[in-house]
Structure 1
Amino acid sequence: MLKLHLAEGLVGVSGVSIPIGNSKESKESPGSTWPKDIIALEPGETAWDVVLKKIKELSDSDCRDAFMVADLDVLASRHQVFRQALPRVSPFYAVKCNSSPWMLRVLAALGTSFDCSSQGELEQVLDLGVAPSRIVYANPCKPVSHIRFASLHGVKLLVFNSEEELIKVAQHHPGARLVLWWTQDSDSIFPLSSKFGARLEVCEHLLESARDLGLAVVGTSFHVGSRCQTPRNFMKAIVDCWPVFEMGSRIGHDMSLLDIRGGFSREEGSDPEFEEVAGMINTALAQDFPEGSGVEVIAEPGHFYATFVCTTTVNIIAKKAVLEPGGRRKLLYYLNDGHYGTFRIFPRESEPRMPIMVKELSPKLSLFPCTLFGPTCDAFDKLFLKEVQLPELDVGDWLVFPFMGAYTSVLSSTFNGSSPTSICYAVGPELRSLLETTP
C-alpha cells in the first residue's frame, strides 16, 4: 500500500551498508524556474537516488554538512492511504508536526485541511490561499491576540476545554464555532490528559457555560494520546462522544461535528497497524454517527502524514575509541547533527533507530557498542539514551536515517552556533504537474 522510496526493508538491521555508487544521475529540467531546493525526479528515479547523489557530491568536497531529503510523492501517497482507509473522515493536517512550506503547499493542492496551534501557523496556512473554513484552531489554550487574529481572518472553528477559555472567546471572537475537547488517553505512550482536555463529568457544565455566554458549540473532540497502543480506545472514545452530543443538543447547541484528532499508528508493521485502527474507527462511526446523521467527522493526523517523507543524512566528524573495564572496546562517534538539531525527538523513543551505513562493509565485521553524539559541547547532545551496535567506521563516513519527517526540523535550534540542517525536496512528474497548475 505504501510506496517507500528510501532504502525499503533496510531499517533496523545492524551493519546494513549501501555503496555510494548505487545512484542515478539526476537531471535538472532546462530553463526550469523552480527553486534550487526542489529536485525534479525523472521517470524511474527515486528520492533514494537523490540521497546517494548528494552523498557522492559532498564526499568529493571539504563540506560534508548534514542534509535532509523530503520525498513529496510519499506525502501525497500518505494522504491517499488515509482517505482510502477512512472515507468518512476529513483530514486536517497537524502543521506543528512538520511546517515545511513545500509540504504544506502539496497538502493544500491535494485539498487537505489544516490543524493550526498558533497565530504563526494560521498565517503560514492562510498565506497559501487556504480558505479559513479549512482550518481548525486546535490549541485549547490560546493567547488573546491569537484569538483576535483568528476572528479578524475568518477562522471560526476553535477548540476549548475550560470555562476560562470560553470567557476569552466570548470577549474576542463571539462568532466562533466551538469544539469541546475531552481526553481519553490511558493507553498511549505519550498521554496528553495531564495538560489538555476536559473530564467527561464536567462537559455538561462547560456546554451550559458556553450557552450562557452566547457561544455556539458545534461538536466535540477527543484525543487518545500520541501513539495509542490500543485500537479499541478509538472505538470507546467515539462511543463516549454520543452522550456529549446529546448533552449539547439538549442544552441548545447544534451539534454537527466530531473531531477524532490524532494518535494514529504511523508505521507499517507497527502494533497496532493503521488498518486495524481505521477498521475500529469505521465500525464505531457506522454505529453511533452513521452517514446521513448530519455529523461531519474530521481528524488531525501529523505523524501519520509526515514520518515517512524525510530522510536525514549525517557525517561522522570525529571519533574516539574507549577501553572500558574488562577490556571491552567502545566507540564514540561525533556527528554533524544531533539532539539540538533534527534528532531532538529521539530520546522519547523506546528503542534506538539503526542507521543505514553508506559504505562497502563486510557482513562478517565485528560490532561494537557505540554512542552517537551530536556536534555541540553539551554532553547530553546524543542521539539515543542507549548504546547501539555498529561496526567500526571512519571519520568522513555517512549515516542515513529514514523516516525523519515528524517533529524533527521543527524542533531544531541553532544552539552552539549550529546551522539548521538543509532540506531539499524530491518531486515526481505527476505531483510536479499538480503544483504547477495550483495557484
Structure 2
Amino acid sequence: QVSRTFKRGSEVPFYVGNLDSVFEKHQKWQTLLPRVTPFYAVKCNNNLAVLRTLSALGTGFDCASKREIEMVMSIGVTPDKIIYAHATKPQTHIRYACAQGVDMMTFDNEEELLKITRGHPNAKLLLRIAVDDSKSQVKLSTKFGATLGTVGSLLKRAHELDLDVKGVSFHVGSLCTDSVAYRWAIEEAHHVFEQARLIGFHLDLLDIGGGFSGHGLEMVLNSKATVWVIALDEFFPADSGVRVIAEPGRYFVDSAFTLALNVFARKKVWSLPINGNGLDTMIMYYVTSGLHGAFGDIKLYPDKKHLFCAPTGTEPRYQSVIWGPTCDGADRIMDVWMPELNIGDWILVDNFGAYTIPLSTDFNGFEKPTIYLVVTPQIWKMLNFKGYFGIFDIGPHFIVIQSVVDVWRYFFLNSYSSYI
C-alpha cells in the first residue's frame, strides 16, 4: 500500500514506527534495572499502538492530564497502573482521577494539597522534591518540586488534612549527563522519607522520574544503572519494603521511529564563503514538516542537530537551509552542509519518536505526518494473542514484516536517493 502511494507521487510526510524496538527496550530495561518498574510517560509519544504494546508488556503509565488518563484507560489499563504525575493539576482533572479510581498522584505545594482534599481525599500522594538538574538539557526544578526547606511544613500540613502521603518523587531533568545527580537525588529523597516517618507517615514508594536518553543508551544506562543500584541498595535496600518506579518516555520510543520528509521545493541563492573570495552557492530546501509539525521541540534539544548531518561519501556538499512548509518566516529547521537534493527526494530522520508526534499541528493547513507501524511476526503474535490488536483497532497503516531490515526496501522499493 505504501509503495503504491509513492508511485502516485505522494508528498505527505510519514513516520515508520518499529514496535519490535519498543519491545527490545523493555527487555533491556528489565535486565539493567530490575528493581525499577517503568511507568511510561504518555506525553512523549501517545500513539495508541505504542501504548498497547507497552501495556501488553506490563508497563505502567505516567499521565499528566485527564485526557491522558482517558487515553490509557480506553485501551484497558487499570487505575493501579497509572500515576497522575503532575504536581499542579486542574481541580476538574483531580475529580476525574478520583472518579476513575486513579489514586497515585504528585504534589509540591500547600495549595495543591487543598485541591486534593476537595477533589480526591483518598489519594495516595507522592511529594515531588526539587533536585539538582544543572547537568540536564531541559531543567524542571524551577517549575516543579518542593525545596528541601519546605518539605517538613508540607508533610505536616498533609498530616493535618488527613491526607495519605505514600512516597517521594523527583526528576533530574531531561537527558541528564551526570549519573551522580541520581545518587544525590536518591539520598535527598531518603532524607524526606526520614522526615515523613517522624511526622507519622509510612512511605513505601520512590519515583526517580524520567528524562532517560532514547538511543545509544545501553552503554550509558549500564553505567548509570551501576550508580543507581549502589544508591538504591544503600538508601532503599530491597528488604526495606520501598517500591521503586520511574517515568521513562523517550527511552522507549525515540529510536523506534523514523520520519520521512519530502523535498517539495528548493532554490539556490548566493552566500558569502567561509574562506576565500567570491560567493558560494547556498541551497534552500522546503520539506513537508517543520517547527509547527514534527520539529516542534528542536529548539529545546540542541542534540538534535545530529539529525541532519550529511552522510559519508565523495559527493560535493553545499551550505544548505532546511525550511518547514509553512508561511512562518521562523519555520527554519536547520542550517547544514549536505549533498545536493532534488525536488521529490525523501529525507529520512532517525531517532525521532520522542516529543514529535504529540506536538505536531496542521498549521497553515499542512497535513500532520501519517504514522505507519511495522512489527515482526513474533511480536505480532505475542500482542495478538493477548488481544491487544485487531483489524478494527489498527486500521490500514499496520504492516507485519519478516525482518526490520526490510522496512525501507518495502516502503521505497529502493527508489529513495538520500538518507540523512
Q: Which category of TM-score, normalised to the shorter sequence, fits these structures?
A: 0.7 to 0.9
Conserved 8 A contact 2:139-2:172: yes
* One-letter amino acid matched to 1:381: D
The size of the alignment, in residue pairs, is 380
Distance change in 2, residues 1:367/1:333 (3 Å): same
Structure 1 CA distance for aligned equivalents of residues 223 and 319 of structure 2: 37
**Structure 2 residue 312 is matched with structure 1 residue 365:** no
State the partner residue of 2:294.
342
Q: Which deviates more, 188-197 or 98-107?
A: 188-197
CA shift for structure 1 position 353: 2.6
What whole-Å deviation, never above 9, does each CA across 1:299-347 have from its counterpart, x for those lacking one?
Answer: 0001111101110001100001011243111110000111111111222
Asked if structure 2 preserves the Cα contact closer than 8 Å seen for 1:356 and 1:400, the reply is: no
Match of 1:259 in 2: 207
In 2, Cα distance between the equivalents of 1:153 and 1:167? 20
What residue number does 2:116 align with? 169
- What is the one-letter code of the residue matched to 2:177? Q
Cα distance, 1:382 vs structure 2: 1.9
Name the CA distance, whole Å, in 1 between partners of 2:14 and 2:309.
15
Q: Which residue of 1 aligns with 2:143?
A: 195
Unaligned runs of 5+ residues in structure 1 are: 1-35, 37-53
Describe the superposition over 1:333-385 as per-residue Cα deviations: whole angstroms up to 9, x where unpaired.
0001111111112222325134488xxx993221111110011111111223x
1:408 paired residue number: 356
Aligned mates of 1:269, 1:291 — CA distance in 2? 25
Residue of structure 1 in register with 2:329 after alignment: 379
The corresponding residue for 2:306 is 353
Query: Counterparts of 1:222-237 in structure 2 under 5 Å?
Result: 222-237=170-185
Structure 1 position 156, deviation (Å): 0.3
Letter in 2 for 1:252: G
Quote the RMSD (CA, aligned, Å). Answer: 1.7
Structure 1 contact 355–399 (Cα < 8 Å) conserved: no
Q: Structure 1 residue 141 and structure 2 residue 88: aligned?
A: yes
Q: Give the TM-score of the pair, scaled to structure 1.
A: 0.84
Q: Which residue of 2 aligns with 1:315?
A: 262
The farther-off stretch of 60-69 and 304-313 is: 60-69
Q: Conserved in 2, the CA contact under 8 Å of 1:68 and 1:312? A: yes
Question: Aligned equivalents of 2:120 and 2:308: distance in 1?
Answer: 49
Rounded to whole Å, the distance in 2 between the matches of 1:348 and 1:60 is: 36
Match runs of 1:11-410 below 5 Å: 54=2, 57-184=4-131, 185-268=133-216, 273-325=220-272, 326-351=278-303, 352-355=305-308, 363-384=313-334, 387-410=335-358
Secondary structure of the residue aligned to 1:411 is: coil
Amino acid corresponding to residue 134 of structure 2 in structure 1: S
CA deviation profile, 1:227-254 (whole Å, cap 9, x unmatched):
1111100011101111100111111112
CA drift at 1:57: 4.0
**Structure 2 equivalent of residue 42 of structure 1:** none
Moved more, 183-192 or 252-261: 183-192
Query: Does the aligned pair in 1 maintain the 2:290–2:324 contact within 8 Å?
Result: yes
**Matches of 2:64 and 2:286 in 1, distance apart?**
35
Contact 1:314/1:400 (8 A) holds in 2: yes
What amino acid does structure 2 have at the position aligned with 1:98? N
Please state how far the C-alpha of 1:66 moved relative to its aligned partner. 1.1
The structure whose residues are more often helix, as a share, is 2
* Alpha carbons 1:356, 1:401 under 8 Å: kept: no
Q: CA deviation at 1:269?
A: 6.5
Report the CA distance shift for 1:122/1:362 in structure 2 as closer, same or farther (over 3 A). closer
Q: Distance in 1 between matches of 2:15 and 2:91?
A: 36
Matched residues in 2 for 1:332 and 1:425: separation? 31
Alpha-carbon distance in structure 1 between the residues aligned to 2:178 and 2:201? 32
1:354·1:388 contact (CA, 8 Å) conserved in 2? no
2:39 is aligned with what amino acid? F
Inter-partner Cα distance in structure 1 for 2:281 and 2:70:
52
Q: Report deviation, 1:59.
A: 4.0
Q: Which residue in the other structure is 1:425 paired with?
A: 373
- Would the aligned equivalents of 2:265 and 2:343 in 1 still touch at CA under 8 Å? yes
Deviating above 6 A after TM superposition, structure 1's stretches of 4 or more consecutive aligned residues are none
Deviations 1:15-48 (A, max 9, x none): xxxxxxxxxxxxxxxxxxxxx9xxxxxxxxxxxx
Q: Which runs of 5+ in 2 are unaligned?
A: 273-277, 388-420
Q: Which residue of 2 aligns with 1:17?
A: none
Q: Distance in 2 between matches of 1:222 and 1:333?
A: 42
